[in-house]
Amino acid sequence: DAKTTQPPSMDCAEGRAANLPCNHSTISGNEYVYWYRQIHSQGPQYIIHGLKNNETNEMASLIITEDRKSSTLILPHATLRDTAVYYCIVRPPRVAQKLVFGQGTRLTINP
């Protein structure tokens, strides 16, 4: 699986948009970008995934650059409950593969 690089930590004010970057310059053509988050002392939670088009769901938006070498997860109106570690993972779809987690970004939402 392609390697991802994320900043170790970020801060964001409550109510503002939180933009979390992820670099995946070695991504292959069939690899999807997945985002998970882990709130303290809980299991990871799926957020969103995409291949090359931008995606949006009730939790977040995912913006993938045209060359697919980087992406940004956007939480449009961050709340205190969004404080968590956010993981960006790339892997091929529809293959029974394990999810390998990097170090992620520790996002802190400040009141």
Partner 1 sequence: GAVVSQHPSRVICKSGTSVKIECRSLDFQATTMFWYRQFPKQSLMLMATSNEGSKATYEQGVEKDKFLINHASLTLSTLTVTSAHPEDSSFYICSARYGTADGYTFGSGTRLTVV
Which positions touch partner 1 (CB under 8 A)? Answer: 32, 38, 41-46, 49, 85, 87, 93-104
Cα 62 to Cα 16, 24, 75, 97, 103: the distances in Å are 16, 14, 9, 22, 19
Q: Which is nearer to partner 1, 42 or 111 (CB)?
A: 42
The CA-based diameter of the chain, rounded to the nearest angstrom, is 41
**Smallest distance, Å, CB 79 to partner 1?**
21
Residue with Cβ nearer partner 1 (42 or 66): 42
Report the DSSP pairing between strands 55-56 and 32-38.
unpaired
Select 84 or 85, whichever has its Cβ closest to partner 1. Answer: 85
